Each structure stands twice: as structure tokens, then as C-alpha cells.
Amino acid sequence: MNRFEGRTALITGAGSGIGAATARRLAAEGAHVLVTDVDEDAARAVAAGLPQATPLRLDITDRASVERLIGGLPALHALVNNAFLPFADDPDENWRRQLDGTLLGAVHCSRAALPHLAATAGAIVTIGSVNAEADFGDHAYSAAKAALGSFTRTLAGEAAPLGVRVNQINPGTVDTPSWAGRETALADLGARAYPLGRVGTPEDIAAAVAFLASADAAWITGTTLRVDGGLLAVNRHFREILGDG
């Protein structure tokens, strides 16, 4: 498939995990990928392995830099809001980080990208989380991800007359460096919590991003797609109690 031939895609937090897999996937489908990350070395390392990629330092919490970098691009066909703001130990600081970072960061990037995307009939894909839909701990992160879902729907309404589509993916647990040091927990979750018997790979999410950002999703906007191995839809605990699982 070459769904992104001649197209430019910008991915935030693309130096690791889901963002890096998305960069690889979109590049494999022909995109010129702007591999952005607050960690410039990580962005460089990912871009180095791709045929058409430009590594760029971008801190999504810095509105002025976001507007300068995205606003100054010659063209843009797809924006992937993916960066993951690590949790802070202090509860207040964690709330600020998740609301200012996770939520407002995606808002800054989306606003800055919209004029470009209006010119190219482009698309925004934002990475949320199953935490937006049910209790999996960390209220600040979960609230920020839930608010992103609302932003996705509202922006979809604003952007539709411009021909721009805006969608969100809510992943379940995905084996990325953000889980480093918790390999046993990941294996247990895969075996015991996930109906499909494993946690996700970054490539599982990248495939869904590529679909929603491509013309294959031309009539899809304002949607949240769960990519979670059946986690939220299937009640394994209930089935086990009934001896049905």
C-alpha cells in the first residue's frame, strides 16, 4: 500500500514507542515523515532508519515553538498527536502536566496544523487511551485523555466544513518503553486481562493510525476507535464467575 505517496505527516513524540512505529508505518506507505520529539536524539535515531524523514525537536507544551514550527511548514497532510507526558510524582504537578501537556499540547498542535490541513484536505489522529473510558488508575492522565475525546469531537465539527477529518484512537496496554521495568506486569496483563491473550504492539496502533489518516477513512470523522484487544468490550471476569470463560 502506498496511501501516503507525496504526503507529509507530522508525528509528535515520534522518538519512541507508538510514535516511532507510526513514523515507520507512514514512511513505508510513502509519506515524508516529520519525526518530532522533545528528545531530539531519539527523533534523529528514528528518522535515520527511514527513507524520507526529517527529525525535529518539538516540545508540545511550548505553544510558541509549536506555532512557529508547524505554522512554518510548507505543507501538511496528516498530524498525529501522540506524545506521552510521563507521570509526575506530586499529584498537583501531575494534574498540571497532564492538562497542560497531554491535553493542551494536542490542542496547540491541532490549531497550528488546521490551516495546512484545510489546504490539503488532511486529517488529524490523536492518541487517547482506554483510560478515557474506564478506570485504569491515574485520574489526571485519564481525565486529560477523556477531555481529548471531547476535543476530537468538537474539532471534527469545526473542521468538517474545511474538509479536514479529526479522529482519535484509544489504545489498551501497548508494549512500549513507557512500560520499561514492568515486563512481568505486561505479561500478566496480556495473559489475564486481554481477551485476545496479549497486550498490543506499537505496530497494532500504527496500523490504525495509518487507516484513519488515509483516504480509506474518507467518510470517518469525530470518531474514537478503540484498539484494545477486546479489553473494554469483553467482561472476562463475569464470564469466569459463570464458568463461561
Q: What are the residues binding ligand NAD (CB under 6 A)?
A: 12-13, 15-19, 37-39, 42, 58-61, 82-85, 101, 127, 129, 171, 173-174, 176-178
C-alpha cell at 155: 474539532
Instruction: Tally Cβ neighbours within 10 Å of residue 192.
Output: 11
Least CB distance to ligand NAD at residue 54 (A): 15
Which lies closer to ligand NAD via its Cβ, residue 29 or residue 59?
Answer: 59
Angle at 59 between CA 45 and CA 104, to 5 degrees: 135
Note whether 88 and 94 are within 8 A (CB): yes
Given 7, 108, 145, 226, the catalytic residue: 145
Which lies closer to ligand NAD via its Cβ, residue 31 or residue 208?
Answer: 208
Given 21, 32, 125, 141, the catalytic residue: 141
Least CB distance to ligand NAD at residue 127 (A): 4
Whether 141 is a known active-site residue: answer yes
Note whether 133 and 231 are within 8 A (CB): no
Least CB distance to ligand NAD at residue 20 (A): 8
Whether 83 is a known active-site residue: answer no
Least CB distance to ligand NAD at residue 182 (A): 10
- Give the DSSP H or E segment for 186: helix 183-192
- Residue 111's contacts (CB-CB under 8 Å, 6 or more residues apart) are 67
Residues marked active site are found at 141, 145
